[in-house]
Amino acid sequence: MKNTILRRGVLALGLALAGLFLAGPPAMADQAQTFVQDNIHKGLDILNNKSLSTDQRRTQFQQFLLGLTDMKRIALFTLGQYRRTAPPADVDAFTAAFQNYAVSVYQSYFAKYAGQTLKVTGSTQRAPGDYIVATQLIDPNDHSGRPPLEVDFRVRTDRGSPVVTDFSVAGIWLALEERDQFTAFLGQNNGNVKLLVSHLDELAKQFK
């Protein structure tokens, strides 16, 4: 009987500690949420600024985005298994092309929601220093009663300053989607990263 009570006590303690670990330090979760709340509003403000020319808006948004995201980390992730076999020079060229492409794509995404405001609704921890911050884009002119669009951000806080490493719109994660597209392209082209670089350059032009 005593052994049974002891085992139950140990199990309960273990579950409690596991719950604390999975919940993560509240300060770090708050940091991730505040980071998203403050910085995404800055990006929306740039896109909403009608006093800027198209080129000025793009330049400011690019500077904002590069300070917000770990672009190299995202680029290498989207290469999938090909990052291990491609020549280093090709990987560097891809990283540069991906940055140009990503700025164009992200600006195109968020430009659709100019005039809306962002509301953080919570966060969950995937692993220590790795959070998903859930948000909603609120359109003050939408009186349809439809639920606001959900946009989630993956934020890493394990390397000093917080950075965004991916975001999803209506449940679709952009970096995951890009990795599937890029690896499919490379699979059809004998893993030729140079061809993918040229392909990204052409796609970036279409978004501008």
Residue 4 lies in a domain: no
Amino acid in the structure at residue 6 = L
Residue 7 lies in a domain: no
**What's 201's domain CATH number?**
3.10.450.710
Distance CA 90, CA 192 (A): 9
Q: Which residues of 116-153 are buried (b: 16+ CB within 10 A; e: fewer)?
A: bebebeebebeeebbbbbbbbbeeeeeeeeeebbebbb
Residue 80 lies in a domain: yes
For residue 166, the cross-strand partners are 154
Number of domains in the chain: 1
pLDDT band at 4 (very low <50, low <70, confident <90, very high): very low
Residue 17 lies in a domain: no
Higher-confidence residue: 132 or 13? Answer: 132
Residue 6 lies in a domain: no
Residue 18 lies in a domain: no
Residue 16 lies in a domain: no
Residue 172 has pLDDT above 50, yes or no: yes
pLDDT band at 27 (very low <50, low <70, confident <90, very high): low
For 130-166, how does the pLDDT look when each residue is reduced to its tens digit (9 = 90+)?
999 999 888 888 888 888 888 899 999 887 788 898 8
**DSSP structure class, residue 84:** G
- pLDDT value at position 22? 35
Print the domain residue range for 193. Answer: 25-207
For 93-136, how does the pLDDT look when each residue is reduced to its tens digit (9 = 90+)?
999 999 999 888 888 777 777 777 888 999 999 988 899 999 98
Residue 1 lies in a domain: no
Q: Which strands make up the sheet holding 149-156, listed edge to edge?
A: 117-127, 130-138, 149-156, 163-169, 172-173
Q: Are 87 and 191 in contact (CB under 8 A)?
A: no
- pLDDT value at position 183? 95
CB-side neighbour CA atoms (13 Å) of 123: 29
